Amino acid sequence: MSLSGLLRTLPTLNAINSSLGSLSLLSRQPYSMYKPFVKEPVYNIEQLDKLIESGEAKKREFVPVKAARNDHNVSVFYDDLTSKFINMVMVKGQKELARNLVEMGYMKVKQIQLAKYYEATTDAERAEIELNPITIFHKALENCSPVLQLTPIKRGGSTYQVPIPITENRARFLAMKWMILECREKERKIHFPERLAFELIDAFNNTGKVVKRKQDLHKQCENNRAYAHYRWG
Amino acid sequence: MMRYLRTCNILRVWRRFSSISAESVPVTESITNDIFRTNESNPVNHRVEHNSRFYSISEPVKKQLFAGGGLPKEYQSLSETLNGLCIMVRKPAIELIHYLNKTNFDAPVLRYVLYGKTGVGKSLSLAHVVHYGSSAGFVLVHVPWVPKWFQYVKVATPSSVHANKYDQPIEAVEWLKHFSTQNGHLLHKLELKTSNTYTWSKREVTAEGSPLSELIDLGLNRAKYATGCIVALLDELKRAASSKQCRLLVVIDGFNSFFSPKSNVIREDKSMVLPSDFLLTDALLSLTRNDWNNGAVVVSVDPSAHPPELRESPLPRYLLGKTGFEHLDPFVPIEVQNYNDKEFRSQIDYYIERNWLQQPKARTDNGQAELSFTSGKHPYSLMRLVAPY
């Protein structure tokens, strides 16, 4: 059996119980094709330098590592969130198109902000204008991420929308999803990159439709707070 | 942004002293005001010392020279974003300016052919030469992009002047407008007159000895005769140059399109109208022949001016074909290459100073090495790589 086959066999219940007995099944990804001891690769050069300095690298020398992803790289332009976002924009496996759309969006963000920058007359005004599209993107996602979410819970024949806490991953996913859906809205005279640019800048300033959607969700959660205890039956 | 501005003012750390893994050392920027710019905005004075520096073109000059075309679209929109048109002074343009300054105007015209891969800077070098020509008092015959006349023709009509040839009324009017904007005041000063009578129809006649501006106005008002007007105008200018009344500079971008085997015009019997069947082709080929003097001809050949099947090589012999090469032979070939190290650094510095290259990590030595590698120092590729970040 090949090494990759060995690494990728789904762990049986016996294997889980015998190898890391104290850890519960829930703490491990049950659908991962990799065995638990297989490490995530480190791409970032600075992180690698740190590992070497601190001596961690020596410990990792003979630990198997997961296969490299196509989109992960050591480029100075690599941003995790952007990569995730591009994947979510992608449809039918058209990665290049998705990447071009998002990159065009970033360029448009820069164009809009630079227009404001060069129109500004004082240094103070100029200092306030954020020009980095990645910073704007991160802040926009932060502003669009909900803090609670609603889940349907059946009690006595009726289904109630109950507010429950949200994980970081889920919140980030919702923010990105809402952003993309907003950019794909009907009347496509304005194409995706321009819409993305406008939406990102609006969300950065805590205005716009995506932030409104998050705030509506929060309002709904607030309205349904009476049912919060349904979470525990 | 604020943090960055303060850092820039306090820490003027030079590029040479930055380290590779930038986690512990603050991000170093190369904000050296004078290395990548020059104050010399008159291209007549540009010399080798100005190489790899950016010089700025003022708005009125840009409108006068390039309103009808001449700057690549993406570059133009980028210059609008970056709040001012700046062109890098590079070796091909300096070479051309040097030759044009030293030309013996009594000898037959010299033809210069700029060649190189697509996206390497030929059109911008030509734009620099156009600015030079305008500053040095040449009358400019500038065709911004020849394929526009053959690949995207709006209307093609059988010519009123020549039986077997075709007119391009809309493109002709556009070009006459471009010509009159570029050369308006100069023509007015020179007071050039026609040396022939041109009969357009029973009532429309341009008499001998009438000013050239009349010919241009006729073309602008009557699209039907616009192409004929251009033919007459170019003929008159050639004659005027040879008789020392004016000095002519012919600048043509995408010259190999005249010898392309395709155009988008199809006759009723489904046969294609070749570029050689158009009247404008004849006019410009006559102007680029070396049977006149007191001027210069600067031309560029680009693979993208040919249909996609004919873009194998960027070299003039391949792109011009046998007829084109024999027409232009002998010419002075000038290669436009990718950026060298100095030009590359200068371009990056310009992008940083104009706040276009935003990513802090891309401004470090490591980032610049990466950009240099991934773009291959190819100007257009660098522009596309830097655009989103």
Confidence (pLDDT) at A13: 46
Question: Is the pLDDT reported for residue B253 higher than 60?
Answer: yes
Say which residue, B350 or B16, is predicted with more confidence. B350
Averaged pLDDT of chain B: 89
Residue that is last in its domain, among A25, A53, A78: A78
Quick one: pLDDT band at residue A1, thresholds 50, 70, 90? low
Same-domain check for residues A126 and A225: yes
Residues of A in contact with B362 (CB under 8 A): 76-77
Residues of A in contact with B357 (CB under 8 A): none
Same-domain check for residues A117 and A60: no
Same-domain check for residues A115 and A187: yes
Question: Is the pLDDT reported for residue A21 higher than 60?
Answer: no
Same-domain check for residues A108 and A72: no
Same-domain check for residues A58 and A126: no
Least Cα separation, residue B155 to chain A (angstroms): 28
Same-domain check for residues B185 and B66: yes
Least Cα separation, residue B1 to chain A (angstroms): 6
Say which residue, A5 or B92, is predicted with more confidence. B92
Same-domain check for residues A68 and A112: no
Confidence (pLDDT) at B28: 33
Radius of gyration, alpha carbons of chain A: 23
Is there a contact between B366 and A130 if contact means CB atoms under 8 Å apart? Answer: no
Domain residues for the domain of A157 are 95-232
Same-domain check for residues B284 and B351: no
Would B55 be classed as within a structural domain? yes
Question: Is the pLDDT reported for residue A163 higher than 90?
Answer: yes
Domain residues for the domain of B85 are 43-335
Same-domain check for residues B319 and B347: no
Q: Residue B299: name the closest of B110, B68, B99, B88 by CA.
A: B110
Same-domain check for residues A106 and A72: no
Question: Is the pLDDT reported for residue A205 higher than 70?
Answer: yes
Confidence (pLDDT) at A92: 97
Question: Is the pLDDT reported for residue B313 higher than 80?
Answer: yes
Residues of B in contact with A122 (CB under 8 A): none
Confidence (pLDDT) at A5: 63
Would A100 be classed as within a structural domain? yes
Same-domain check for residues A72 and A101: no
Would A29 be classed as within a structural domain? yes
Same-domain check for residues B315 and B371: no
Quick one: pLDDT band at residue A36, thresholds 50, 70, 90? confident
Would B169 be classed as within a structural domain? yes
DSSP β-ladder status, B85-88 and B54-57 = antiparallel
Would A1 be classed as within a structural domain? no
Residues of A in contact with B365 (CB under 8 A): none
Same-domain check for residues A112 and A144: yes
Q: What percent of chain B has pLDDT over 70?
A: 91
Say which residue, B29 or A132, is predicted with more confidence. A132
Report d(CA B230, CA B282) in Å as an integer.
11
| Structural domains of chain A, count | 2
| Longest distance between any two alpha carbons in chain A, whole Å | 70
Residues of B in contact with A131 (CB under 8 A): 1, 355, 358
Confidence (pLDDT) at A29: 58
Would B54 be classed as within a structural domain? yes
Report d(CA B363, CA B169) in Å as an integer.
50
Same-domain check for residues A148 and A217: yes
Same-domain check for residues B117 and B251: yes
Would A160 be classed as within a structural domain? yes
Position B94: which residue type? I
Say which residue, A10 or A32, is predicted with more confidence. A32
Q: Best residue in B2, B9, B358, B363 to probe A by mutation, most A CBs within 10 Å?
A: B358
Is there a contact between B21 and A45 if contact means CB atoms under 8 Å apart? Answer: yes
Same-domain check for residues A67 and A115: no
Confidence (pLDDT) at B2: 46
pLDDT in tens, A53-108: 999 999 989 999 999 888 888 898 999 999 999 999 999 999 999 999 999 999 99
Helix H or strand E encompassing A158? strand A158-165
Would A83 be classed as within a structural domain? no
Question: Is the pLDDT reported for residue B173 higher than 70?
Answer: yes
Q: Residue B88: name the closest of B114, B118, B124, B130 by CA.
A: B124
Would B31 be classed as within a structural domain? no
Residue A123: is it exposed, middle or buried by C-beta count within 10 angstroms (0-12/13-18/19+)? exposed
First to last CA, chain B: 15
Would B84 be classed as within a structural domain? yes
Nearest CB among B23, B355, B367 relative to A114 is that of B355
Would B30 be classed as within a structural domain? no
Which ranges constitute the DSSP H helices of B1-154? Answer: 2-10, 59-66, 73-81, 91-101, 122-135, 147-150
Residues of B in contact with A196 (CB under 8 A): none
pLDDT in tens, B273-304: 999 999 999 999 999 999 999 999 999 999 99
Confidence (pLDDT) at A72: 87
Same-domain check for residues B288 and B366: no
Question: Is the pLDDT reported for residue B61 higher than 70?
Answer: yes
Confidence (pLDDT) at B161: 78
Residue that is last in its domain, among A78, A107, A122: A78
Is there a contact between A114 and B387 if contact means CB atoms under 8 Å apart? Answer: no
Same-domain check for residues B78 and B107: yes
Of A182-186, B16-20, B42-46, B50-54, the least confident: B16-20
Q: Residue B60: name the closest of B134, B138, B137, B136 by CA.
A: B134
Least Cα separation, residue B352 to chain A (angstroms): 12
Same-domain check for residues B381 and B319: no
| Structural domains of chain B, count | 2
Report d(CA B311, CA B274) in Å as an integer.
18
Question: pTM for the full model?
Answer: 0.86
Would B141 be classed as within a structural domain? yes
Same-domain check for residues B294 and B353: no
Same-domain check for residues B331 and B345: no
Question: Is the pLDDT reported for residue B7 higher than 70?
Answer: no
Same-domain check for residues B348 and B311: no
Same-domain check for residues B140 and B192: yes
Confidence (pLDDT) at B5: 45
Confidence (pLDDT) at B207: 87
Report, as an integer, the average pLDDT of B126-145. Answer: 96
Position B240: which residue type? A
pLDDT in tens, B220-247: 999 999 999 999 999 999 999 999 999 9
Same-domain check for residues A112 and A49: no
Residues of A in contact with B389 (CB under 8 A): 77, 106, 133-134
Would B8 be classed as within a structural domain? no
Count contacts between A and B (CB, < 8 Å). 62
CA-nearest residue to B368 within chain A is: A76
Query: What's A105's domain CATH number?
Result: 1.10.455.10
Quick one: pLDDT band at residue B203, thresholds 50, 70, 90? confident
Question: Is the pLDDT reported for residue A167 higher than 80?
Answer: yes
Is there a contact between A76 and B364 if contact means CB atoms under 8 Å apart? Answer: yes
Is there a contact between A110 and B81 if contact means CB atoms under 8 Å apart? Answer: yes
